Amino acid sequence: MTKEKLIQTSHYCQKVSIQKNNNLQETIKEVLAEEVPIAIVYNGISHVVMMASPCDLEDFARGFSITEGIIKSLADIYSIEVLKKDNGIEINVEISAEKFIHLKEIRRNLTGRTGCGLCGAESLNQVLKIPENKKNETKFSSKSILKALKNFSEQQKIQKETGATHACGLFDSEGNLIILKEDVGRHNALDKLIGASINSQILNDYFVITSSRASYEMVQKLAYLNLKLLVAISAPTALAARLANQLEMTLVGFARNNRYNCYTHPAQIIG
């Protein structure tokens, strides 16, 4: 058994004082990842509440808006304002009148658990959205993938402190880290990465590593960057593999300890 007492808060983690079961007389300090209700509000109308880490929230709003099909490009967003409330955080996003009218037509009202992207979806068409597939016959180096995996684990700062977050990283063709985002939810981490990357000069031979399993939604979201390699630390789902195959995306799973499994389009990986 352990007991805990809150002693200090930062923007993304909470320090606590605990006692471990092998010595209840000794107090030690530990760091817990924060998990906060984040409401995304478009033009004054609340659209969704997600449980997420309270960092990189403007990137989160941009990425979520893109991958949910609410906007087509960042030009559709006029402003983003992050407001701290007593019971959570509110992100106010001002979008174009055209996109707001479209949003009202497809609007869903959901309260998601950690990283949950389906709760409250009203139809199957809202779930299996297939982004436009652009041709990309890029080859990827196995050596660069293994190098990127090492860099990936070393750069997860919140995970190192708390042991409770996921991460998604964007890497170049040499396996060098370009951008890394962390969150308590794997989908949120990828939305943050997409939001931070969408206006960057992303080349075809860039790829993404996720610390989680590869669900269909991770594949679906990555397609918005038109990248053709997703590397997951854990397993993919069958639907993720089918979708990756349809999108001509190389899907790698169980990427750890200097090895990995390739589930789709293995010809895209060279030695």
Say whether both 152 and 260 belong to one domain. yes
* Weakest mean pLDDT among 4-13, 141-150, 208-217: 4-13
- Measured in degrees and rounded to the nearest 5, phi and psi for residue 116 equal -85, 125
Q: Which of 93, 127, 161 is the last residue of a domain?
A: 127
CB 40 within 8 A of CB 47: yes
Number of domains observed in the structure of the chain: 3
Say whether both 16 and 110 belong to one domain. no
Query: Stretch 171-196: mean pLDDT, rounded?
Result: 97
Query: Stretch 120-131: mean pLDDT, rounded?
Result: 59
- Percent of the chain residues past pLDDT 70, beyond the cut: 87
Q: Confirm whether 133 is domain-assigned.
A: no
Say whether both 155 and 258 belong to one domain. yes
- Predicted confidence (pLDDT) per residue in 241-270, tens digit: 999 999 999 999 999 999 999 999 999 999
pLDDT at 137: 82
Say whether both 211 and 227 belong to one domain. yes
Q: Which of 221, 151, 212 is nearest to 192 (CA)?
A: 221
Q: Confirm whether 213 is domain-assigned.
A: yes
Say whether both 67 and 149 belong to one domain. no
CB 13 within 8 A of CB 33: yes
Question: Sign (positive/negative) of CA torsion 268, 144, 211, 258?
Answer: positive
The reply to whether 116 belongs to the active site is yes
Q: Which of 127, 160, 180 is the last residue of a domain?
A: 127
Q: Which domain holds residue 18?
A: 3-33
pLDDT at 128: 66
Q: Confirm whether 134 is domain-assigned.
A: no
Query: Stretch 129-154: mean pLDDT, rounded?
Result: 88
CA pair distance 147, 103, nearest whole angstrom: 42
Place of tokens 């090895």: 259
Say whether both 146 and 265 belong to one domain. yes
pLDDT at 171: 98
Q: Which of 127, 157, 183 is the last residue of a domain?
A: 127
- Percent of the chain residues past pLDDT 90, beyond the cut: 71
Say whether both 255 and 206 belong to one domain. yes
**pLDDT above 70 (res 114):** no
Query: Stretch 40-69: mean pLDDT, rounded?
Result: 95
Instruction: Specify the pTM.
Output: 0.87
**pLDDT-based confidence at residue 166 (cuts at 50, 70, 90):** very high
Query: Stretch 134-154: mean pLDDT, rounded?
Result: 92
Catalytic residue among 13, 55, 116, 119: 116
Say whether both 211 and 96 belong to one domain. no
Q: Confirm whether 135 is domain-assigned.
A: no
* Weakest mean pLDDT among 12-21, 119-128, 229-238: 119-128
Helices then strands (H, E): number in the chain? 8, 16
- Mean predicted lDDT score pLDDT of the chain: 88
pLDDT at 3: 39
* Weakest mean pLDDT among 33-42, 134-143, 150-159, 209-218: 134-143
- Predicted confidence (pLDDT) per residue in 80-91, tens digit: 999 999 999 999
**pLDDT-based confidence at residue 26 (cuts at 50, 70, 90):** confident
**pLDDT above 60 (res 113):** no
Query: What CATH number did the domain enclosing 256 receive?
Result: 3.40.140.10
Question: For the chain, what is the largest distance between any 2 Cα atoms, rounded to a whole number of angstroms?
Answer: 62
Q: Confirm whether 97 is domain-assigned.
A: yes
Q: Confirm whether 19 is domain-assigned.
A: yes
